[in-house]
Amino acid sequence: MSDLRERLVAVVGAEHVLDGTASPELAHDEALAVGHGTPAVVVRPGSTADVVGIVDAARATHTALVARGAGTGLSGGANAPDGAVVVAFDRMTAIRAIDTTDHVAVVEPGVSLAQLDAAAREHGLTYPVRPGEQSASLGGTVATNAGGMHAVRYGVTRAHVVGLEAVLADGTVVRTGGRLAKVSAGYDLTQLLVGSEGTLALVTEVTVRLQPHLPVRRTVLAPFADLPTTTAAVARVVGSGLAPALCEYLDDPTMDAICAAADLALGVPDEVRAGADAYLVVELVGRRAERVEEDLAELGELLTDAGAPDVYVLPEGSARRLVEAREQAFWTIKARGADEVVDVVVPRSAMAEFIGRSREIGERHGTRVLGCGHAGDGNVHFAVFGPGGDGHAAALDATLHEVLAAGVALGGAVSGEHGVGRAKAGALAELADPGALTTMRRVRAALDPDGLLNPGCGPV
């Protein structure tokens, strides 16, 4: 331990090596139901060379390394085991380039989504990944392959990352991809590292695509009487060619909760609300107002034709506040005492079935399974509330396990965008395709034979 500290001090200086017991808030992310230990130290590299030195020190002392971005993750991917080194990237916050010819940004991993998007917007460009927390770091969102509301149009983080610099467990620095729109020159290590949650390498630089900013946006709200009708409408919206920038569903209790939390009235008459089991929120974007208006009319007809009793075009202020409130849904449901959140992804065609089965699972165990989700992507976000009392933990565990299993049985996966972390490592090991798991384990062992990188997280 003192050996470890000495080595790290030699790399980054004493002021950037914090005692692990002194910074408990740096030992975990925002996951609700995952424990964490007490790290030996928190170390704050300022450069790629620092990261190489940190990896070398960890290897020499057989110490686990846990990378940490902004700590906004929801799966415990940044939760430190006892005695680990937390590598906090909060000093590496430089935007190295915004390139308006190649339409890319090159950033250090500690740069936040808000910081990057603001820099891009100065050039008429945008980084459209919106996982709900604009304070999230680029490094963290690369680690979890973060998604969010705009993924239905722009894709998840994976779709935007075109190059990485990273440090392997043996200290090798790897450069993948580049300021390139495409590449077919060997295995795509960029894509292998995106979503690997710090288990294969520590990312030290990220190159992402930027998109032209589309200035016009209009939002509609459509109530539906039941879930199958809601999700059938989603397929029509996605298949229409209207290319919505978001296509979210919210069940009625969740809509209530976020409207209450945001003090928001949406102008939906009481009798319509009374008959609504779920809502779709769809946003259209474009370069020209008249086209977006025209598309909005088409979207309204499509939604009515798909079964919505009426469609409400939201005034700009209400639309913005509703989207913000939806982004903050995690905090709302956390404040209301949710015990866990899950973000199972299923084929769009299976969404209604999955939500229905999950509600039944909750009823059977006396738990409540409520939610919203990125309907365009089949990505369902549930808040799960245990019954309280003696059977609380058992009912909660059973519900979570059965909900994840139901998603996988319907052709889905245990996480659409939050990542596996420590929260779902056991579920992945149990539920994922056995051949795929074997392959993941072989890749992990090949790149980190001593198991230094984020042990217990991801495919174990």
Residues 46-85 that bind a second copy (CB under 8 A): none
Min. distance of Cβ 325 from a second copy in angstroms?
23
Contact status: 432 vs a second copy (CB under 8 A)? yes
C-alpha–C-alpha distance, residues 230 and 279, integer Å: 7
Q: Which of residues 324-363 bind a second copy (CB under 8 A)?
A: 345-349
C-alpha distance from residue 228 to each of 234, 272, 349 (Å): 10, 18, 9
Min. distance of Cβ 228 from a second copy in angstroms?
11
Contact status: 90 vs a second copy (CB under 8 A)? no
Min. distance of Cβ 257 from a second copy in angstroms?
25
Q: What is the CA radius of gyration of the chain?
A: 22
Interface with a second copy by CB under 8 A: which range of 82-90, 156-164, 382-390, 393-401?
156-164
- Other CB atoms within a 10 A radius of the CB of residue 236 amount to 14
C-alpha–C-alpha distance, residues 70 and 127, integer Å: 18
Min. distance of Cβ 344 from a second copy in angstroms?
9
Q: Which two tokens stand for residue 432?
A: 């994922």
**108 vs 377, which CB is nearer to a second copy?**
377
C-alpha–C-alpha distance, residues 363 and 388, integer Å: 14
Cβ atoms of residues 294 and 288 within 8 Å? no
CB-facing half-sphere around the CA of 185: CA atoms within 13 A = 8
**38 vs 349, which CB is nearer to a second copy?**
349
Q: Which two tokens stand for residue 426?
A: 């056991």
Tell me the three-class secondary structure of 311-341, residue by residue.
Answer: CEEECHHHHHHHHHHHHCHHHHHHHCCCCEE
Contact status: 442 vs a second copy (CB under 8 A)? yes
- For residue 343, what is the DSSP state? B
Give the contacts of 15 (CB within 8 A, at least 6 positions apart). Answer: none
Q: Which of residues 356-395 bind a second copy (CB under 8 A)?
A: 374, 376-379
Calculate the CA 207 to chain-centre distance: 18
Q: Which of residues 96-125 bind a second copy (CB under 8 A)?
A: 99-103, 124-125
Min. distance of Cβ 194 from a second copy in angstroms?
7
- Other CB atoms within a 10 A radius of the CB of residue 35 amount to 10
Contact status: 132 vs a second copy (CB under 8 A)? no
Min. distance of Cβ 32 from a second copy in angstroms?
18
For a second copy, the binding residue among 287, 289, 301, 316 (CB under 8 A) is 287
Contact status: 173 vs a second copy (CB under 8 A)? yes
Task: Give the three-state DSSP class for 195.
Answer: coil
Beta bridge partners of 217: 285
Q: Which of residues 28-47 bind a second copy (CB under 8 A)?
A: none
Contact status: 216 vs a second copy (CB under 8 A)? no
**364 vs 442, which CB is nearer to a second copy?**
442
How many chain residues are in contact with a second copy, going by CB under 8 A?
89
Contact status: 137 vs a second copy (CB under 8 A)? no
**12 vs 413, which CB is nearer to a second copy?**
413
**106 vs 370, which CB is nearer to a second copy?**
106
Which letter, b or e, does each residue of 95-121 get, where b requires 16 or more Cβ atoms within 10 Å of its Cβ?
beebeeebbbbbbbbbbbbebbbebbe
Cβ atoms of residues 135 and 114 within 8 Å? yes
C-alpha–C-alpha distance, residues 1 and 83, integer Å: 8
Interface with a second copy by CB under 8 A: which range of 81-89, 114-122, 388-396, 411-419?
411-419
Contact status: 417 vs a second copy (CB under 8 A)? yes
Contact status: 21 vs a second copy (CB under 8 A)? no
For a second copy, the binding residue among 10, 14, 172, 337 (CB under 8 A) is 172
For a second copy, the binding residue among 78, 120, 194, 319 (CB under 8 A) is 194
Contact status: 424 vs a second copy (CB under 8 A)? yes
**121 vs 392, which CB is nearer to a second copy?**
121
Beta bridge partners of 107: 95, 206
